């Protein structure tokens, strides 16, 4: 539960979503300047709430941070990976690819969370992600599983 102390020995569940348009552009958001890693870019993600499944948390985070509403069945699992969060908390990352139609979904940024967004062709995203403007540990998780992202992109976008 948000605001409660993190119990010793507990694992934090994190849901991460790589939103991609039907024509193959990746949606990136820029973090609010007052948040940790302020003004850096990333894909959508956040904590799974108590009692929430990872896919439900991913769909909620996508809706809250970007305004994109998709059914859970539209989120394609990419990987599950235990990892240390910055600060040393043990976390289990559940990553999903979500394909959305930009003509039917309006992007609305969440106040206090995100301040800007970009839609980048996948190849351009792969280059941008390697810059200092992208959060390094989010980059590393992506790179660790890029083959799975590439496979899903080919399967669901055909690019």
Q: Are strands 12-21 and 90-100 parallel, antiparallel or unpaired?
A: parallel
Question: Longest C-alpha distance within the chain, in Å?
Answer: 46
The per-residue pLDDT for range 5-25, each reduced to its tens digit, is 667 777 889 999 999 999 999
The per-residue pLDDT for range 105-155, each reduced to its tens digit, is 999 999 999 999 999 999 999 999 999 999 999 999 999 999 999 999 999
Predicted model pTM: 0.90
From the DSSP assignment, how many helices (H) and strands (E) are in the chain?
4, 7
What is the number of other CB atoms lying within 10 angstroms of the CB of residue 125?
24
């Amino acid at each position: 539960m948000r605001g409660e102390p993190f119990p010793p020995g507990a694992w934090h569940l994190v849901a991460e979503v790589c939103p991609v348009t039907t024509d193959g552009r990746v949606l990136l958001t820029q973090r609010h300047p007052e948040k940790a890693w302020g003004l850096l870019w990333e894909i959508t993600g956040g904590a799974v709430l108590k009692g929430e499944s990872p896919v439900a948390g991913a769909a909620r985070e996508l809706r809250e941070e970007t305004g994109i509403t998709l059914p859970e069945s539209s989120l394609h699992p990419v990987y599950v990976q235990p990892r240390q969060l910055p600060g040393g908390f043990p976390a289990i990352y559940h990553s999903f690819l979500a394909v959305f139609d930009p003509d039917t979904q309006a992007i609305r940024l969440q106040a206090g969370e995100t301040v800007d967004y970009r839609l980048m062709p996948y190849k351009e995203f792969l280059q941008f992600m390697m810059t200092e403007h992208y959060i390094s540990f989010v980059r590393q998780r992506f790179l660790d599983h890029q083959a799975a992202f590439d496979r899903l992109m080919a399967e669901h976008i055909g690019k």
